[in-house]
Structure 1
C-alpha cells in the first residue's frame, strides 16, 4: 500500500513539477503518507483478529476448585489455538447484580475479544439482561453449566450452552444412594441434602428420584450451603447434633458440590474428635475435584462417592463451540456432557471397602441435543 501511495504521488508530483506548487507538495507529501500509514495500522490493530483473547466471566471463584480446574483446562485448550484467556470475577460470590456490572463493562470493551464464556448466576432473574447482552454483541458467547434461556429456540444466534445436566447429576446421585439404602434394608432412612440456590435442579431431581426408589426415605433439603465448605460444615454439624439429641440417625449426606461435601467431612471429624459417633454415615458429593477424589481414595473418611463433571471435556467442547460460532459454522445450541460416578462399581462395595486408589475410565463421547 505504501508503494502504491508513493507511485501515485510521484506521478502527481511530476505533473506539477513545472508549477509553483511542486516545492510545497513535496514538503507535505511525507506527512500525508505517514498519517495515512498510521491510520491504516491503527485500524488493523483495532479490527484485525490478531488480538486473540477471549474472556471467562464466572459467578464465583473463592474456594471453587472445580472452577479453578475448568479455568486451567480452558487455558490449555485455547493455547493450542493461540488464544489468551481473560478472567472476569464479579465483586460478590454468585451475585447476579455483580455479573450485570461485568456485562456492562464487557459490552463496552467487546472489540477486545474474539468471544467469551459465561458461568451465569441468578439465571431466572437476569434472563432479559443476558439475552440483551448476547444480542448486542457480534462475538460468540458460550454459557458453561447454566443457561439463562429456557428453550433452545430462545438462544440468540451467537450463543450456545456446554455443560453437564443438573437433572442428570441429581438423578445419578439418587440412584447411587438408593443402592446403599436398599442394601442396608433400613425401614426409614434419613437423608440430608446440603445444597445452594444455584443449580436447584441438582437437589430437586435427587429428591424426586430417591422418593421413587426408596419411598420411605425422609429427605431434608437445606439450600443455604452456597457451595461453601465452612457453611456446609456448620449445617451438617448442627443437623447431626440435633439428630443426636432426638436419638435419630442421619444415614446419608448428599452435597451438591464437592466443597460442601468436604465441609460435611470436617463436621463429622469434629464430632469424632469430641467422642461423638455418627453411625455408618455416608457422604456423597458432586464435581469430581482432585481434592475430593484424593479424600475418597484414602478410605479414612465418610466421603464415599462423587458425581464427576469432567472439566477437561467441558473445556474442550466449549472452546470448539466458540470457535465454530466465530466461523459461522453449524453448532449444537446445547451440548450436554455425560457424568460418571467415582469410584466406578457397586455402591455397597464403595461404602464397605477399605480405601485404596481406584481409577475411573473416561466417560463416553458426549451427546448433544438441540441444534
Structure 2
C-alpha cells in the first residue's frame, strides 16, 4: 500500500468514526427530546443540535488528527559515522529520496564505530517501537558475529528492512521475506581497483612492483579480490596487506609512514598503495606529501581509493598528488534503489533479494594517463607481509 493510500484510509476511518458517533447521538437525542422536551421539537429539534454539534466536532477532530499527526518515519542503523564521508553522502541522498515519499529518516548510531555489539544494543530499542517505522535501512557491522541477532530482529519486527553496503546474509535463501540488500559488490570493487593499477604499473614497465594495501576487517572481499587479481598479473609482486586501519585517515597515515620507513631500511620500493576507502587514501596522501616536503619523498608512488567522496574526487582532479584514482560507489543510485526496494517491500510487491549497483573508476580514461612519469624499480623488498590475517577468513559478499 502506498503512503498516499494509507493516509487516505486513515482519514476515512477517522471521518467514519465521527459520523457514526454523531448518528448515535442523533438517535439517542431524538428519542430523549421527543419524550422529555416535546416543546422544543416544534422549532429546532434539540436532538438535531446535539447531533450536528457532535458530528462537526468529530469531523474537525479527524481533520486535525490527519493534519497534525507525526509524519511517517524510517530508520537507518549505520555501522560507523564519525568522519565517514561516503556515509554522510548516502544519508543526504536517502533523506531526499524519502522526503519525496513523505517519510522522515531517523538516524541510529552505535556507541562504538563498527561495533556489532553496539548495533545489537540499538536493535533492542528499535524492536520495542518497530511499529513506529514504515521500515528501516541497516549497514551491518561485524556481520559474522551479528548474523543470528540480525536474523532474529528481521523476523520479529515484520516491517521491511533493506541492508545497505554490508549484509549479514551470504545467500538469497537466507534472507527473510521482508528483507533485501542494495549495494556494491565488495569483490568487484577490489577487482576493479586492481585492474586499474595493473594497467598503470604495466605501462611504466615495472615487472615486480611493491604494493601496500591498507584496509579494514569490515569489507575483506575488497582487499582479497584486489590481491588475487594483482598477483595474477604480477606473480612476483611484493604485496603487504594491513587490515587494521579501520577506515580512519590518521591510522592510515601512520601505517604508511611506518611501512615506508621499514621498506626503506630493507632497500625496497613501494610503487602503489591501494586503500579500501577514500579516507584512508587521503591519509596515505598526507604522509606522502609530508615526507616529500621534508625531502624524504617515496618517489612516483600511485594511490588508489574507494568511494569517490567529494574531497577525494577534488584531490584527484586537482593533480599534483599521488592520489590518482578511486572506485566509484554511487551513493545517490544506492539510496534511490534502497528507498524504492523498501517501498515495494512495504506494499507487498516482489523485489530482488540482492540488488548490486555497478561501480566505475574516477577518472574515466587510460590508467597510464593518470600516472605522470615513470621509474623502473631497482629493488623490491624480499617478501610479502600479511598483517591482520588476510588468508583464510574471507567473508562472502552478498549474493
What does the per-residue CA deviation read over 1:348-367, in whole Å, with 9 as the maximum and x for residues that have no partner?
A: 111128xxxxxxxxxxxxxx
Q: Give the distance between the partners of 1:175 and 1:13, measured in 2 at CA.
A: 83
Residue equivalent to 2:268: 248
TM-score between the two structures when normalised by the length of structure 2: 0.80
Instruction: Output one character per residue of 1:331-351: Cα deviation in whole Å (capped at 9) or x when no partner.
Output: 111000000011111111111
**1:3 and 2:19 correspond:** yes
TM-superposed deviation, 1:49: 9.9
8 A Cα contact 2:71 2:102, kept in partner: no
Q: Give the superposition deviation at 1:186.
A: 2.0
Q: Describe how 1:159-308 pairs up with structure 2 within 5 A.
A: 159-308=179-328
**1:360 alignment partner in structure 2:** none
Question: 1:100 aligns to what?
Answer: 120
TM-score by length of 1: 0.86
Q: Output the CA distance in 1 between the equivalents of 2:73 and 2:365.
A: 42
Deviates more, 1:61-70 or 1:178-187: 178-187
* Range 97-106 or range 179-188, more displaced: 179-188
Q: How far 1:168 moved relative to its partner?
A: 0.2
State how many pairs are aligned.
343
- What whole-Å deviation, never above 9, does each CA across 1:201-254 have from its counterpart, x for those lacking one? 000010011111111111110000100000000000100111111221101100
Contact 2:134 2:159 in 1 (8 A): yes
* Aligned pairs (5 A) from 1:306-321: 306-321=326-341
> Does the 8 A contact of 2:19 with 2:58 survive in 1?
no
Q: How does 1:352-363 map to 2 (within 5 A)?
A: 352=372
1:11 shift after superposition: 2.3
Of 71, 78, 81, the match for 1:51 = 71
CA RMSD of aligned residues (A): 2.6
Aligned partners of 2:19 and 2:300: how far apart in 1? 82
> Quick check: 1:51–1:113 contact (8 Å CA) kept in 2?
no
Is the 8 Å Cα contact of residues 51 and 112 (structure 1) preserved in structure 2? Answer: no
Superposed displacement of residue 18, structure 1? 8.0
After superposition, where does 1:1-40 map in structure 2 within 5 Å?
A: 1=16, 2-15=18-31
Deviations 1:25-54 (A, max 9, x none): x9xx99xx79x969x96xx88xx9973111
**Unaligned stretches of 5+ residues in structure 2:** 1-15, 37-46, 374-397
1:332 matched to 2:348? The reply is no
Note if contact 1:307-1:340 (Cα within 8 Å) is conserved in structure 2: yes
Change (3 A) 1:49 1:150: farther
Distance in structure 1 (CA, Å) of the matches to 2:322 and 2:34: 97
| CA distance in 2: counterparts of 1:230 and 1:286, whole angstroms | 17
Decide whether the 8 Å contact of 2:77 with 2:139 is kept in 1.
yes
Considering Cα pairs closer than 8 Å and 6+ residues apart, tell me whether 1 or 2 has the greater RCO. Answer: 2
1:193 and 1:221 in contact (8 A); partners too: yes
Q: Which moved more, 1:8-17 or 1:213-222?
A: 8-17
Secondary structure of the 2:143 match is coil
**TM superposition shift of 1:181:** 2.1
Aligned equivalents of 2:336, 2:34: Cα separation in 1: 67
Q: Which runs of 5+ in 1 are unaligned?
A: 21-25, 354-368
Q: How far 1:9 moved relative to its partner?
A: 2.9
Whole-angstrom distance in 1 between the partners of 2:265 and 2:318: 31
Residue 364 of structure 2 aligns with which residue?
344
**Residue 264 of structure 1, CA deviation:** 0.1
Tell me, in whole angstroms, the C-alpha distance in 2 between the residues paired with 1:7 and 1:93: 58
- Look up the SS of the partner of 1:238 in the other structure: helix
Mapping for residues 127-142 of structure 1, pairs under 5 Å: 127-142=147-162
